[in-house]
Structure formats: C-alpha cells, structure tokens
Structure 1
Amino acid sequence: MRRWFSSVRARATLGASLVVAVALVAAGAAVLLSLRFSLIGEAEADADSAARRVASQITPNIAYDKLDLPEGEDNPVQIVDADGRLVAASEDLERISGTGIGAVKPEQVSPTPGDDDDDDEDSAEGSLELGELSDDKTFHDGSATVDGETEDYLFAEVEVNVEKKGDLTVYAGGSLESEQSVMSTALTSLLIGFPLLLAVIAVVTWLVTRRALRPVDAIRSEMAAITASEDLARRVPEPDTHDEVARLARTTNETLAALQASVERQRRFVADASHELRSPIASLRTQLEVGAAHPELLDVDGAVEDTVRLQELAADLLLLARLDAGEKPGATRVDLAALAREELSQRTRNRVEVRTDLRGVEVAGSRGQLARVLGNLVNNAQRHARTHVTVATRTEGTWAVLAVSDDGAGVPESEREHVFERFVRLDDARTRDDGGAGLGLAIARDVAERHGGTLTVREAPGGGALFELRVPLAPPAG
C-alpha cells in the first residue's frame, strides 16, 4: 500500500478524487437544500392560499356547515373559535396533528343571534359582511389522515375576526408528499450518481496522469541506463511539447552535455599533464643516468632547469586542482600597484624591459593567486615582446584594472578565446623550450573568475597583445 501511494500518479488520482468528492458533496448539499426550500415554499403558499380562501368565505350570516371546504387529501381544514372549539373541518378527516387541536368532528355551536331564517332572507337581500383577515403567516409541521390515507402536511394558520362570531382560526394543510417524493428521488440520484462520477474522474485522472508522466518515466529509464553504462554521450528523449516535462528533459540533456564536457576536459587535462610531466622527468632522468655513468658529462645547469620547470608545472597543476575544487579566494585587501611593484622587483630573468604605470587600487581576494596572475601575464608577454612589456593599474567605475601589454605580434582575433584553454600553444614560438606549458593563461582566467572578474585579450594601442584583468574594487574600509 505504501508503495502504491509513493506513485505520483496514485497521489494525483487520489487528490483529484478527494477534491471532486468534496466539491460534489458541497454542490449536492446546496442543490438539495435549495430544492427543499423551494418545495417547502410551494407547500406554504398552497396551505396559506387554501386557508385564506376558507377564511374569506366566513361571514356573520353564513353557517359553518355551509362553508365550501376543500375535499380530499389536498388541503385538510380546521376552523377553531376563540374558545378552542372545532367549529368546522374537512369532510372525511379522520386524524390530524400539528395544529394544536386533535378533534376532527365539529362541536355543535348555538346559533348566533341573527342566524335564523329571517336573517338568511335578509342576508340574501343585503350585501354580505366579510371578516377581517390577519396578515401574519404562521406555519406548523404535522400530519393528517383523510379517507384512510395518512400524509405529512404543512399547516398554515390564518386568524380572522368575524362580527357575531368573534375571533376564528383557520388551519389549512399543504401536502408535503410531493416534496418528500422529489427529495427522495434527488437523494437517490445523488447517492448513485456521485460514486459513478467519482469513479469516472478517478479513471480519467489515472489515464491522463499516466500519459502525462510517460515522458518522465522515459527520462528516468534513460538516466538509469546512462548511470549503468557510464556513457555520457547518451541523451534523454525530449517530448514534442512546451510544458514542464519538456523543459525538464532539455535541462537534463544540458546537464549531461555539461557533465560530458567536464569529464572530457578532465580526461584531456590528465592526458596533457601526463605528457607535459613526462618530458622534463625523462630529460632529468637521462641527465642523471649519464652523470652517474660519466660524471664529467653531467649537465648540471640543464638538470636544474628541468627541475625548476618540473616544479613550476607541478605548482600550476596543484593550483588548477584547487581552483577546480572550488577554493574560495578569501577577502584580503590587496593593493594591485603595491603587489605589482613587489613582484616585478623580484624578477631576475627578464628578457626585455618591463615598464610600469601603476596607480594605487585595492581589491579583495587572495594575494597569492593575484600574484600568480600577474606573474603568468608578464611571463607570457616576455616570451612574445620585441623590446618591452608594460604593466599598468587603474580604476574604471567600480572595477580595478590590471593591464599587461607587449609589442609583439599579438593574438589573432579568432584565437583570443582559444588561448585561455589549458595546454594551448598557438604557434612554434610557444614551445617547451620557451618555458610555456599552456597553463599560465588558463590559470589566470580561472583566478579572475573566482574573484568575480574577467580576463580578456585584445590588440594593444601600439600593436601586440593587451591582457586586461578586471576585478571589483574592494568596498570602503569599515
């Protein structure tokens, strides 16, 4: 059971069924109440109309047994005088309840003065005097048995004041049989129809959600297959829709593509690093083996140079590994001008002159990583400059700018992004003999991005390449 409820399809079906059930119950209750009020209103109107018709017949000169009372089961009637005596009732009335008077046979009432033949003749000649009807409407629930048939009624109570007869109360019933029959039929229909409708809605919801979730199941199956096969070149199927499932499939494929690119990049990185490390290690081993066999032939300077190169390459690889692992640059305040002066003063192997145009500008980050960026940019410029290299710092709006330019051949526009890839050397000048392994600019850009900045290359005003590092200015102290 728990496994069944873990299905999105099952939960959606159950949720939709519950919502519809609540809505149907509320709607059904509203319909039944509205129908009942309407039918009761009709019974009230019928009873009140019958009572007023009877009351309007009562005059001082007409005997109670002469009244035209409704016959049959439609409107049972009682007329009660001020002393609570039943003075008139419908014919065939056998039992009644709800009016307060249980009698069904009228009591003999002494004729009122004027109720004789002379009065009847006089009344035939003169106009009849009608009683005064009350405007109040009062209703009572009850039942009556007429001619052997018992039914529920709604009794209307109408008071009338008639000269010589005093205050009279007329009770007339409106049958509730129609209301009870209609309500019973409606309730039966709802009790039968609601479960059927719920079943239809549950089945439709189950089928619709199964169809809607079919692409999700296909995505899940393909992802499971990719995980099992470790083949990142595979992609999940994308449905021909524009809904959330299609966007999920596209996002999943984009994630797989990014993961594949990352894995391929790591593989190339490991292969290139192995290749780059193999050369200095092999050269150093050869020199040491030759030196061990023939000490007089040992090239100490070459061995030292290979060792230094191997050390620098290992440091570059270690820094790249830390950057790829998401190492934070920190928030140390660093003055780029002071950093440039210190780093440039420690360089002893400049091939060409290094000129400076430094202005104090502070940034927040890692002093060691920023120093590595400066060193890599200057080394790159030294390898390609003809006569000089220029290092400058300045501010542009909210950015601190470190610019390193040379007067060499520059970087072709089509290759200006390619140079920041790892282990990339564009031409024959960028060889191992020149000291470049193709990692310096890649490290520099990674450090720039970790500091929330950018590293770009364009043509210098005087020709050559101009590399610009842009990093956000440090916030004011305090």
Structure 2
Amino acid sequence: MKITTKINLITTAWIICVLLAVNAVVFFSFMKITVNMEDSELFQKADYLINEINKEDSQSVIKEKLTPYLTNQSFIRIVQPDAKIINQVTNDQQLASKIKPKFTSEKGTERRTIRLNHQEEQIAIVRVPIQAHGQVVGTLEFGEKLVGLETGKDLLLSILTFCTILGAVLSLLGGRWLSNLIMRPISNMINTMEDIEKSGIPKKIVIQHETKDELQKLAVTFNRMIGRLEENLEKQRQFISDASHELKTPLTVIKSYADLLLRRGLQNEEVAHDAIESIHLEATRIQKMTERFLDLADTESGNRLEAKSINVVALCELIFKQLKSAYKREISLHYQEPDISVVADEVKLKQAIIILIDNAIKYSKDKIDVYLKEKEQWTIISVKDYGIGIPECEIENVFERFYRVDKARSRETGGTGLGLSIAKNIMKQHQGEIIVRSTEGVGTEVELFLPKGRWKGNVFE
C-alpha cells in the first residue's frame, strides 16, 4: 500500500472517530437538556395544580381545575395510596390506558417507551405527592407524549449523520491533498535516486518552493550529500587522472629502455648499464609514488588514531638524527622548554614532520631551522628553510595533489607532489591546522598546529 493511501485512510479514520465522538456528546447533551426542560415544566404544572386543589372540592370541580393544564396527548390523574385513580382527565384515552397508576410519597420522574399506533413513543411522567395535615394522602400523576423530543431527536440525528458523511468526504479530499503535498519532495527524491541509479550521474533535487519545514530540510540535506558525492567523485577522477599522468612518464622510460635492451641485447655494456640504471631509478620512483598513494589514502580514510602523549622535542631530535646522516644537511632545533608534549598519533605526526623537512631539503641548500613552541591552546611545530620560496599566487595551490611549484626540480629530486596533501590530512585527523608562509627567493616556513587536550579514540576532548 502506498504511503499516500495510508496517510489518506488514517486521517479519514481519525476524523470520522472524532466526528462520531463529538456527535455522541452533542446528541446525549441535547437529549439530557431537553428531557430536563420537559421534566421541569411538568413539575411546575404539578406544583400549580396541587396549590389549586382543595380536599373539600368535589370530583367535578377538581376535573374542571385539572382540564386547563392538559397539553396535546397527555393525562392528569390523582392516585390514592391503594393505587386507585380517584380523578383523571385526558385527551388521549389510549395513552392513559397504557400507563398504570402508581402511588408515591416522593417527587419523581419516569420515562416510558410505549407502542401507540404501530410506532414507539416517548412518554414523560412526573409524580408529586399530595399532602394534608403533614401526611401523604395521594399522588398527582402528570404524563404527556414527548412529540417535540422525538421530532427534535430525529432531526438532530439527520443533521449529525449528514455532517459526519460530509466530514468523511472532505477528510478524504483533504487527506489526498495533504498526502500529495507531503510526498511531493519525497517523490522527487525517489525519482532523482532512480535517475542516479540508471545513469550513474549524481543529480540534485530541484526545490521549487521555500517551505522551511522538515521536508525542505530533507531535500537540502540530500542535495548537500549529492554535492559531497560530486566533489568526492571529482577528486577521485582528478586523482586517477593525475596518478595516471605521473605514472605514465616513468613507465614510458622503463618501456623505452626495455625495448632498447631487447633490440641491442647486452653486447654494448655501457648502453646496457645506462638502461638498467634508468629502469631501476624509475622503478624506485614508482615504488615511492605508490607508497605515497597508500599514505594519502590512509590519511583520507580517517583510520583510527593511536593517540598517546608524545614529547615533541625528543621526537624531533630522533628524526633529525636519522635525516642528518642520510642527507648530510644542517638541521637546527630551537625550543624554550625541554618537555613540550602533545597527545597525537606518533607515527603519523612523525610522517608529517618528515614531509616538511624533506621538502625543505629538496627546495633549499642552506641550513634548516625547526622551532617548537606553545601558544595558548596550540603546540606549534615550525619548519623554516631559506631556499627558492613559493610565489604568493601559488601558495593556495600547494596542498593540491601532484601540485609542484618547480616541476623540473621536483622531478630531479623525486617529488610526487603528494607530501603536503598527506600532511594536511594528518593535521585534519588531529583537528589541527597547517599553514604555509613563503617569499619567493627568500624561503618558506610551514607550521603545524596541534591542539592541546586529551584524545579518546578519534574524539578530541
């Protein structure tokens, strides 16, 4: 069953239940009020009659006093304690004969349903005791046919029935309109999803009206999700394109030298040695590039951090010891406190620092300075070189994948253009920042900002 049909049926059923409940309250309230009014009127008449009747009055005089109080289809009678009628006036003998006399010493009302002329009739009866010298000597019994009540009841039932049917019809129409209104953006979303499934191309929902409700929020959230997907797909396509471009050159070189070896064999040792050396260099470059691809994928996947307290001073000294022996370059470490600690993933933080120092080594020939400092809620690791620098217009592009400021120098030094992208992702995982400041021909300074605090799993507190 469609959700629109469910909404329509549920709303209609609810409206009908509400109408029936209201109708029941209206009907029984009407009957109660009308009957009470009839009883009050009869009691009032009975009280008047009792005041007018004297025990010295003859039967004929009493009848004359009772007759004016008769209404259409009614009876008035006086009943003795032995339940015998001593006086009675009526304009409906059949009605009077159907109601048996009853003696009572207390005021009371009675509602009877009798069958007259092949149909049921409602009869109202009131009984008022007649007292003399402090004793009850008889009962005045007043009964009449409730013609107006039956007519009013039938009319009210007809009106309530008509209103209930009209309410049900209007509820069906309103429920249909409401369900269509609610389901329109959902239907658009379903159609959009089906189009995406068929074509494989992400699409956004067209929001025609600003309703500012949950449905619009759902559509906006869906569009935002599609936007993220499109952005990620574009990054994926760009990554594949860039990776293919980067791998194409070393593979072409490897293939060319392999073809040379196949054509000339190994007779010319000098040519063969150059070819093998070039193949080895390009294979090594592909290996490094592949490792960087894996590092980038790992930092972008948001894998769980192995966070723990790290002494940054000790970590940097260990890194410098390894790099100095490998690159034979002067790297100076500057810090004010010997114990500067952060809570971070040691492996990934070390990787980010090595990336910055490696870039500084590649793009400068002078010494490299590394500064460790604490500022408010941040621990800052700053790597400064005095090399070629970066043009101001290029700084905002340095975090893009495979981007190189000096492509010729990068290729000579084996750079892939992925280092700063990886470092930025590592800082993002640590809820930190990376900032690049550079002046062309003067040098570059890159700062890692790590938040102070406590990590619980992947959550920073």
Shorter-chain TM-score category? 0.7 to 0.9
Matched, 1:55 2:56: no
What are structure 2's unaligned runs of at least 5 residues?
Answer: 457-461
Q: Distance in 2 between matches of 1:356 and 1:178?
A: 108
Written as runs of structure 1 = structure 2, the 5 A alignment for 1:404-423 is 404-408=383-387, 410-423=389-402
- Checking the alignment, whether the CA contact within 8 Å between 2:433 and 2:449 is kept in structure 1 is yes
Provide the residue aligned with 1:267 in structure 2: 237
Tell me the secondary structure at the aligned position of residue 310 of structure 2. strand
Corresponding letter in the other structure for 2:290: A
Q: Deviations over 1:272-292 (max 9, x none)?
A: 112222323443555565594
- Checking the alignment, whether the CA contact within 8 Å between 1:424 and 1:439 is kept in structure 2 is yes
Residue from 268, 277, 286 that aligns with 1:294: 268
Provide the residue aligned with 1:86 in structure 2: 85
- Checking the alignment, whether the CA contact within 8 Å between 1:95 and 1:102 is kept in structure 2 is no
Corresponding letter in the other structure for 1:338: A
Q: 1:394 to 1:149 in 2, by over 3 A?
A: closer
Provide the residue aligned with 1:424 in structure 2: 403
Matched, 1:237 2:236: no
Matched, 1:14 2:13: no
Q: Distance in 2 between matches of 1:394 and 1:24?
A: 75
Q: Distance in 2 between matches of 1:310 and 1:435?
A: 10
- Checking the alignment, whether the CA contact within 8 Å between 1:455 and 1:470 is kept in structure 2 is yes
The alpha carbon displacement at 1:442 in A equals 0.4
Q: Distance in 2 between matches of 1:15 and 1:390?
A: 74
Normalised by the size of structure 1, how large is the TM-score?
Answer: 0.80
Which range moves more in the overlay, 287-296 or 250-259? 287-296
Residue from 137, 141, 166 that aligns with 1:171: 141
- Checking the alignment, whether the CA contact within 8 Å between 1:238 and 1:249 is kept in structure 2 is yes
Provide the residue aligned with 2:72 in structure 1: 73
- Over the residues paired in the alignment, what is the CA RMSD in angstroms? 3.4
Q: Distance in 2 between matches of 1:187 and 1:148?
A: 22
Q: Deviations over 1:4-57 (max 9, x none)?
A: x2x121111012112101110111111101111111111111211121121111
Q: Distance in 2 between matches of 1:476 and 1:271?
A: 37
Written as runs of structure 1 = structure 2, the 5 A alignment for 1:100-111 is 101=101
Corresponding letter in the other structure for 1:356: L
The alpha carbon displacement at 1:137 in A equals 4.5
- Checking the alignment, whether the CA contact within 8 Å between 1:140 and 1:156 is kept in structure 2 is yes
The alpha carbon displacement at 1:422 in A equals 0.5
Matched, 1:196 2:196: no
Q: 1:353 to 1:182 in 2, by over 3 A?
A: same
Tell me the secondary structure at the aligned position of residue 236 of structure 1. coil
Normalised by the size of structure 2, how large is the TM-score?
Answer: 0.83
Q: 1:430 to 1:144 in 2, by over 3 A?
A: same
Written as runs of structure 1 = structure 2, the 5 A alignment for 1:180-219 is 180-219=150-189
Count of aligned pairs: 439
Provide the residue aligned with 1:346 in structure 2: 322
- Checking the alignment, whether the CA contact within 8 Å between 2:122 and 2:150 is kept in structure 1 is no
- Checking the alignment, whether the CA contact within 8 Å between 2:343 and 2:455 is kept in structure 1 is no
Q: Distance in 2 between matches of 1:447 and 1:476?
A: 15
Which range moves more in the overlay, 25-34 or 421-430? 421-430
Tell me the secondary structure at the aligned position of residue 303 of structure 2. coil
Corresponding letter in the other structure for 2:8: T
Provide the residue aligned with 2:290 in structure 1: 314
Provide the residue aligned with 2:191 in structure 1: 221
Provide the residue aligned with 1:123 in structure 2: none
Q: 1:48 to 1:97 in 2, by over 3 A?
A: farther
Percent identical among aligned pairs is 23
What are structure 1's unaligned runs of at least 5 residues?
Answer: 104-133
Q: Name the structure where helix makes up a greater proportion of residues.
A: 2
- Checking the alignment, whether the CA contact within 8 Å between 1:94 and 1:144 is kept in structure 2 is no
The alpha carbon displacement at 1:302 in A equals 5.4
Q: 1:249 to 1:143 in 2, by over 3 A?
A: closer
Q: Distance in 1 between matches of 2:267 and 2:347?
A: 42
Corresponding letter in the other structure for 2:356: L
